Amino acid sequence: VNDRAVFERILRVNFVAPLTGTLAVVPGMVSRRLGYVLNVSSDSVRSPIAGASAYIASKGALSGFTESAALELKPKGVHLHVLYPGFLYTAMGKEAIKAGLKPPPRIAVRTPAQVSALVLKRLGGQRIEINAAPITLFTPILKSFTPGLYRRMMTPRAMPVPGP
């Protein structure tokens, strides 16, 4: 949490780059009154874990931007969506497990094929959020109504923080 350069790099990759891409394509979509943008967030925005604050902050910023811009652009025929993909055993996911992150429950794990099929089905639909693992929607509810239980459940789910 104390390395500003790491935060800035992660924010550039996970927020500024998709923001820049979105802003680059939206004017043409608005002029055609048709377009689709999908920005990929993370379910960890809803259930933050220790050791990943820069990543979660960057994905949270992307979610907030996408959801707000979607409301602004929908009347102009442009559909923005934010994808919450669940946990995928990508290179990043495998590294996190290897580094000591407790594996997520199987009900939250998705394959790239499952996520792709869902995106193709929902792109251009009414919902801004595309939730590949709906079980993750219960975490904010748990956090709101039983904060103590939420903390006990989430505390062991921490990314190992690299030493100095």
The residues annotated with a catalytic role in the active site are 55
Asked if 33 contacts 77 with a C-beta cutoff of 8 angstroms, the reply is yes
CA angle 150, 48, 6 (to 5 degrees): 155
* Cα–Cα distance, 100 to 15 (Å, whole number): 26
Asked if 86 contacts 92 with a C-beta cutoff of 8 angstroms, the reply is no
**Position 14: which residue type?**
N
| Sheet containing 78-84, strands listed edge to edge, beginning at the edge strand earlier in sequence | 35-40, 78-84, 129-131
Q: How many CB atoms lie within 10 A of CB 77?
A: 13
Element (H, E) at 98: helix 91-98
Asked if 14 contacts 57 with a C-beta cutoff of 8 angstroms, the reply is no
What single-letter DSSP state applies at residue 14? I
